[in-house]
Structure 1
Amino acid sequence: MVFFGFMVCGVLTGYIADRYGRWKVVFGGYVWSSYFSLLTSFAPTYGWFIFLRSMVGCGVAGVSQGFVLKTEFIPAKYRAYLLPLGTIFWMTGSMLIILLGMLVVPTMGWRWMIRLSITPSIILIFLFKFIPESARYNVSAGKVDDAVKTLQWIAKMNRASLPPGRLVEPALKERGSWRILLSSSFRRTSLLLWYSWFVASFAYYGSVLSSSELLEKNLLCVMNADEEHQVKHRHESGRCYCIPFGKSDYQTLLISSLGEVALVPLNIVLLNVFGRKKTLVVLQLLTAVLFMMVNICTTMFGFTVLLFLLRSLVSMNFNVVYIYTAEVYPTVARSLGMGFCTSFSRIGGMIAPFIAQVLMSQSVIQALTPFAVACVICALGNFLLPIETRGRALLQNS
């Protein structure tokens, strides 16, 4: 339901960001998602719970535009270094939520875990005064004076000065138009990116949910789950009796989460040496191989290593597709392009649990195969991407 809200609002937030500014959308996204996350912790019924979670998803759609805001401030030669480093902070959040689950859920329950999890967002809301609006957006919107003020602020922080002269750039009227995404210049790119984002989310959440499912239901080395393994999802008196994670299960998830940042140096090397397109192809093919290797009967240590590598690859793939999307579209449609892509990605996120969790009860190999096949098809499709963005300046218009 979080992904459903994200999907519905992804395009809308992208359009608003292109028309009225990135800063407003990202700030509003944090306020919205924090507010509805807090309300979720007081949900009186399951119906209210899933409705409020969908509202959280709408806010997260706005938050995702922060990647566009960040990209528009980074020079071309540094993007391949600085953007992948954002994975470190994503991983930190992943580890914090696992630690909260380990420490808070057994003692205080899930409601308090949700209340505590919004603390970073509340702090960030008060720090937004230090985050400027994108100078590129201001120029495209005809707010040249505002853009110059931002650039002067940056120059002052860096003890530098702006180049001589006056910033002159015409305002662009066609901002946030879906026609740009499907124009002859970007049609093939858009269609392939929509599928790439679908697969990126499908594989990422497939890896996360598959690992927790294999641990919870003790399906390691089980080729075809029998009734003993399936019983843990049977319903009695309308309630689902699930087996709580033990400390070792949380530790395995913590170690696998480290995989999301461990290979960041490799990610940076691939982006700089091979470019964005080839890196996507390599990562997707390797991800397909790792998904099938997770089915190998091994020890808990061996499973943790495979999980570590799989989480590394799916995280790197998600990171690269984020970078490529933000680089390939022009400023007039960059946020809308990101919005369409993130909406398609949430379809993959919504489908993933039904395969990684529900189908896993029937057959481990059948549950892992769709993820591997989707990655292989996506890798083949990315050969057809017409634009390489390595070292390329961000476009203002099409």
Structure 2
Amino acid sequence: MADSMKTQLVSAIHLQEVELQEKPGDRQTDSDANGNEEQTYSVEEAVETIGFGRFHILLFVIMGSCNIIEAMEIMLLAVVSPEIRCEWRLEDWQVALVSTMVFLGFMLCGALGGYISDRYGRWTVVFIGFVWSAYFSLLTSFAPSYGWFIFLRSMVGCGVAGVSQGFVLKTEFIPAKHRAFLLPLASVFWMIGSMLIIILGMLVVPTLSWRWMIRISITPSVILIFLFKYIPESARYNVSAGKVQAAVDTLQWIAKMNRVSLPPGRLVEPVVNERGNWKILLSPAFRRTSVLLWYSWFVASFAYYGSVLSSSELLEKNLLCVTNADKDHHVKHHQEDGLCYCIPFALSDYQTLLISCLGEVALVPLNIGLLNLLGRKMSLTVVQLLAAIIFMMINVCTTMSGFVVLLFLLRSLVSMNFNVVYIYTAEVYPTVARSLGMGFCTSFSRIGGMIAPFIAQVLMSQSVILALTPFTVACVICALGNFLLPIETRGRALLQTS
């Protein structure tokens, strides 16, 4: 018992020491070979001194566009499902398996990508992810059969796992006081990606087919491959790997772009040999945080893709209880028990999906306000409880306009949940294990993504309320579990080592 209390006391003291309390003018001193004291600074101090400027706008635009690619690849599943159901005469479970295979590829490559990112650099993993996802997405458009289609989409999921490491790279360049404002704005790019693929589906699928829609959809990936050269490797990673001069060069370039100067003195950071060590995630300081975060990421993905695929399924089969139903609603509803349910999206269905996508950014100001006022942990709790309420309200019989409003609010809340859990994860882990921690979390999230299609697309046909209940329960349990998270990261410096 005494040893346990000592361990907790040491951890508490350590966390207190890393709080961002140092004033910009307070600099560390070191002694050179002649015994003369000289000023030194850390990467954290350099990032805070450089502040926000032109470089961060460039970083925000290019790295934020990673979310466009990820959103397009994931939302493509909701748009293409009715088309492949018709082409290959698929049953519900076969349509759901497509999404599951994508998330399986994401899960298997998520932790691996995080390990490689911590060991060999964030930039390399993200760039390979761009090329990989674009290549296999293009191959998907030539898939000759259902089996080839799900295999190639799983490879796309593997590439998107690498692209998602861009969030870590972006976070490590942003000053602490700007993270709660800038990082939630990434949902703007996710919304753009979601809307782009829906608009492509609306314009291209009826005239050229879903295959041409996929071929056109890789255009943002190709563009970003060429733009990515303007983003440097993380300075935090470079110093942890012993590449101090590379980190200094990067920081000087950023300072020049922002028209400021680096702190006086030289950059001093310890070289860390334990980079990418999974044991850090389960060390006494992070064990409870890791376990709770794995479940939070599971729920974030489970709820988000549950809302996306549920809306697609409800619209495709018109399983809604609509008080002012039109003729199309009855036509589709009467065919739901057929051997091959094959009715493509109508224009109104695409429009409903577009409106729901706006929910991705509608509550961003509220998201930013919650993060700054309540902190990360309480924001997660509030958002998850509200999402649970909206999930159950979708089952209420209402007008089509009422359903659109509920879907709009649901997409806002599940998107906010993903934003907060992304930010908290990037802030809570040290640099030596930040990408690995993110990789493990995204892998657990894809387990939720793998399960969601079978509930949202298979169970939904049997009972709407039974399909919505698991999403509600998962959100409530996660909201209560957030109170057990031991660390609040609002305003805290990013840890360099564990």
* Aligned counterparts of 2:157 and 2:366: Cα–Cα separation in 1: 31
CA-CA distance at 1:127 after TM superposition? 0.6
1:80 to 177, 180, 191: 180
* Aligned counterparts of 2:306 and 2:270: Cα–Cα separation in 1: 45
* Mapping 1:128-277, distance limit 5 Å: 128-221=228-321, 229=333, 231-232=335-336, 234-235=338-339, 240-277=340-377
Equivalent position of 2:121 in the other structure: 21
Count the aligned residue pairs.
Answer: 391
Equivalent position of 1:359 in the other structure: 459
| TM-score calculated relative to the size of structure 1 | 0.96
Letter in 2 for 1:367: A
Preserved CA contact (<8 Å) 2:293 2:441: yes
Equivalent position of 1:339 in the other structure: 439
* Aligned counterparts of 2:120 and 2:298: Cα–Cα separation in 1: 27
Preserved CA contact (<8 Å) 2:303 2:414: yes
Preserved CA contact (<8 Å) 1:222 1:364: no
Equivalent position of 1:9 in the other structure: 109
* Aligned counterparts of 1:21 and 1:233: Cα–Cα separation in 2: 52
1:206 alignment partner, SS class: helix
CA-CA distance at 1:242 after TM superposition? 2.1
Preserved CA contact (<8 Å) 2:430 2:497: yes
* Aligned counterparts of 1:174 and 1:108: Cα–Cα separation in 2: 52
1:37 to 107, 121, 137: 137
CA-CA distance at 1:232 after TM superposition? 3.3
1:294 to 390, 394, 399: 394
1:2-21: per-residue Cα shift (whole Å, max 9, x none)? Answer: 10100001000000000000
1:123 to 212, 223, 230: 223
* Aligned counterparts of 1:357 and 1:163: Cα–Cα separation in 2: 56
1:296 alignment partner, SS class: coil
1:132 alignment partner, SS class: coil
CA-CA distance at 1:45 after TM superposition? 1.4
Equivalent position of 2:490 in the other structure: 390
Structure 1: gaps spanning 5 or more residues: none
Equivalent position of 2:411 in the other structure: 311
* Aligned counterparts of 1:294 and 1:65: Cα–Cα separation in 2: 34
Equivalent position of 2:203 in the other structure: 103
* Aligned counterparts of 1:242 and 1:174: Cα–Cα separation in 2: 54
* Aligned counterparts of 1:234 and 1:320: Cα–Cα separation in 2: 42
2:484 alignment partner, SS class: coil
CA-CA distance at 1:48 after TM superposition? 1.1
* Aligned counterparts of 2:421 and 2:464: Cα–Cα separation in 1: 28
* Aligned counterparts of 1:251 and 1:345: Cα–Cα separation in 2: 29
Equivalent position of 1:285 in the other structure: 385
CA-CA distance at 1:72 after TM superposition? 0.3
* Aligned counterparts of 1:157 and 1:222: Cα–Cα separation in 2: 56
2:147 to 35, 47, 66: 47
Q: For the structure 1 residues 390 and 325, does the alpha-carbon distance in structure 2 shift closer, same or farther, using more than 3 Å as the test?
A: same
* Aligned counterparts of 1:131 and 1:28: Cα–Cα separation in 2: 14
Preserved CA contact (<8 Å) 1:257 1:308: yes
1:292-320: per-residue Cα shift (whole Å, max 9, x none)? Answer: 00111111111000010000000000010
* Mapping 1:360-379, distance limit 5 Å: 360-379=460-479
CA-CA distance at 1:231 after TM superposition? 4.8
Between stretches 91-100 and 208-217, larger displacement belongs to 208-217
Preserved CA contact (<8 Å) 1:229 1:361: no
| TM-score calculated relative to the size of structure 2 | 0.77
1:302-352: per-residue Cα shift (whole Å, max 9, x none)? Answer: 100001000000000001000000000000000000000000000100111
* Aligned counterparts of 2:322 and 2:198: Cα–Cα separation in 1: 26
- Alignment RMSD (CA, Å): 1.4
CA-CA distance at 1:357 after TM superposition? 1.2
CA-CA distance at 1:241 after TM superposition? 3.8
Preserved CA contact (<8 Å) 1:33 1:57: yes
2:417 alignment partner, SS class: helix
* Aligned counterparts of 1:345 and 1:241: Cα–Cα separation in 2: 30
* Aligned counterparts of 1:16 and 1:310: Cα–Cα separation in 2: 35
2:336 alignment partner, SS class: helix
* Aligned counterparts of 1:230 and 1:321: Cα–Cα separation in 2: 41
* Aligned counterparts of 2:124 and 2:135: Cα–Cα separation in 1: 16
Seq. identity, %: 84
